[in-house]
Amino acid sequence: MPSLDQAGATRLFGKYRLLRDLGAGGMAQIYLAAIDGPGGFEKQCVVKKILPEHAKNPNFAQMFIHEAKVAAMMSHQNIVQVFEFALEGENYFLAMEYVSGSALGRLMRAARKLGSALGPQVAVDVGLGIGHALEYAHAMQAADGTPMGIVHRDVSPENILVSRDGAVKLTDFGVVKSSMNAEATVAGVVKGKWAYMSPEQVTNQRVDGRSDLFSLGIVMYEACVGRRLFRGDSVAATVTALTSGTITPPSALVPDVPAGLDAIIMKALERSPARRYQSATELLHDLEAFRANQGWQPARRKLSELVNTLFPRDGSAPKSSITTLSMPGGAQAPSQNDEEELPLVSDSVKLMEPTPAGPSAALLVAIGLAAVLGSALVWVLLLLLDRPPS
């Protein structure tokens, strides 16, 4: 079997040349890789390999195999395309499309460092992209036409990738639970991240596609306002917040959020699934009507500009002002380590208030001072000339 970890040596994994680590999640290691062909042909892709400590656990392997089966069936522009699932030595791995860009979570943190939120237009475009992905996944059928009952269960900012050319893609169907595989719970593994779960998911009730819509509502909310919605200091605090905490409407935190968008996000965040959007199609309908009404164009170019500004291709520091973002604030370049959490909604109201003074107030004061000094000067000149004004 080809060696994976010889320092300095080209790391080969089957036909894949591993170029660099992209990160490790709960159960897998992700690599940027290349497949080589004749005449200098090279195609970049991503290899996702089950972590060695989990590889021998039959439950994990089972979950990974399930992810592979479901993911390989999918073909949609808003879902990261999986094109191979295989066994290399003792390692199961997936090969998939490489999305050159950034996870949405990383974009949110970088924007925050610049004193901004991604803003309403980005929130709408993420909602539309992931809404389309969910509409497709929720409607999937087995070969005999029976619905597969797919629920992603982990719609969260780290599983949403934004490419350099502005495409929005959902990945990581590792915690997908479908009726094909109702027993896919592995003891000790939290499937999905607490702060992005729906109330029914967190309380271990039956979930359906509407649960993913709640999670997408959280993502849209956070992209819009630049604050975490439900995350608490402990799992218990997070669960309490998401099952019963007050949800401040986005417009109460960011003044430029239109009422129509407030209503859409708050409907996605209805705690009772019966009061929520009943399908991704319904959510898409409202988002599209809202965007048309605002006269907003699809923001693909805007998203592309955002990724390239926050994470320039050449690895240089981001520009200090981001015209694509919605909120002014103290600009501070994101550091290399952008893992810092976003603040919470509950401690954000003060921070998020529009700055009433700002440059315009300073300007007024300066004009006032100039006027006083100017008229004093005129008085002095006139006195010197011994001609008091009438």
Ligand X SMILES: Nc1ncnc2c1ncn2[C@@H]1O[C@H](COP(=O)(O)OP(=O)(O)O)[C@@H](O)[C@H]1O
As a dihedral over the C-alpha atoms of residue 320, residue 324, residue 329, residue 332, rounded to 10 degrees, the angle is -30
Quote the CA–CA distance of 219 and 270 in Å, as a whole number. 14
For the chain, how are helix, strand and coil distributed in percent, rounded to 5?
Answer: 45, 15, 40
- CA distances to 58, 300, 317, 352 from 163, in Å: 34, 10, 19, 29
Spatial distance between the Cα atoms of 45 and 99, rounded to a whole number of angstroms: 8
For ligand X, the closer of residues 116 and 159 by Cβ is: 159
* CB nearer ligand X, residue 155 or residue 224: 155
Q: Which is nearer to Mg ion, 172 or 200 (CB)?
A: 172
Q: In the bound complex, what is the minimum distance in angstroms from residue 367's beta carbon to ligand X?
A: 50
Say what the alpha-carbon torsion angle 115, 117, 118, 121 is, to the nearest 10 degrees.
-130
User: Min. distance of Cβ 59 from Mg ion in angstroms?
Assistant: 18
- Residue 43 parent element (H or E): strand 42-50
153 binds, among ligand X, Mg ion, none (CB under 5 to 8 A by kind): none
Question: Does 172 sit near Mg ion (CB under 5 A)?
Answer: yes
Picked from ligand X, Mg ion, none, the partner binding residue 99 (CB below 5 to 8 A depending on kind) is: ligand X
- Specify whether 154 is catalytic: yes
Region from 107-115, 166-174, 244-252, 332-340 binding Mg ion, contact rule CB under 5 A = 166-174
Q: Which of 222, 237, 226 is nearest to 269 (CA)?
A: 222
At a CB cut-off of 8 Å and minimum separation 6, what does 226 contact? Answer: 108, 111, 112, 116, 117, 118, 254, 327, 342, 352
Q: How many residues bind Mg ion (CB under 5 A)?
A: 3
| Closer to ligand X by Cβ: residue 191 or 271 | 191
- Residues 6 or more apart whose Cβ sits within 8 Å of residue 193: 154, 156, 158
Q: Cβ of residue 223: shortest distance to Mg ion, in angstroms?
A: 17
Contact flags string 19-48 toward Mg ion, x per CB under 5 A:
------x-----------------------
CB nearer to Mg ion: pick between 60 and 277 = 60
Distance from C-alpha of 36 to C-alpha of 39, rounded to nearest angstrom: 9
Of residues 91, 102, 121, 159, which one binds Mg ion by CB under 5 A? 159
Which is closer to Mg ion, CB of 173 or CB of 230?
A: 173
What's the maximum distance between 2 C-alpha atoms anywhere in the chain?
A: 104
Q: Of the listed 154, 212, 286, 338, which one is catalytic?
A: 154
Distance of alpha carbon 15 from alpha carbon 37, whole angstroms: 10
Print the binding letters for residues 116-145 with Mg ion: x by CB under 5 A, - otherwise: ------------------------------
Partner from ligand X, Mg ion, none contacting 26, C-beta within 5 to 8 A by type: ligand X
**Contact in structure between 177 and 184 (CB atoms under 8 Å):** yes
- Rounded to a whole number of angstroms, the minimum distance from the CB of residue 154 to ligand X is 8
Task: Determine the Cα–Cα distance for residues 21 and 335; give it in Å rounded to an integer.
Answer: 20
**Minimal distance, residue 21 CB to ligand X, in Å:** 9
Q: What does 30 interact with, of Mg ion, ligand X, none (CB < 5 to 8 A by kind)?
A: ligand X
Residue 225, binding choice from Mg ion, ligand X, none, Cβ under 5 to 8 Å by partner class:
none
Q: Minimal distance in Å, beta carbon 184 to ligand X?
A: 14
Q: Which helix (H) or strand (E) holds 292?
A: helix 280-294
CB of 363 to ligand X, least distance (A): 43
Under the rule (CB under 6 A), what is the footprint of ligand X?
22-23, 25-28, 30, 46, 48, 80, 96-99, 103, 158-159, 161, 171-172, 174
Q: Is 317 helix (H, G, I), strand (E, B) or coil?
A: coil
For residue 344, give every residue at least 6 positions away whose Cβ sits within 8 Å of its Cβ, in sequence order, or none.
227, 228, 229, 231, 232
The stretch near Mg ion (CB under 5 A) out of 18-26, 100-108, 263-271, 295-303 is: 18-26
Q: Which chain residues interact with Mg ion by CB under 5 A?
A: 25, 159, 172
Residues annotated as catalytic are 154
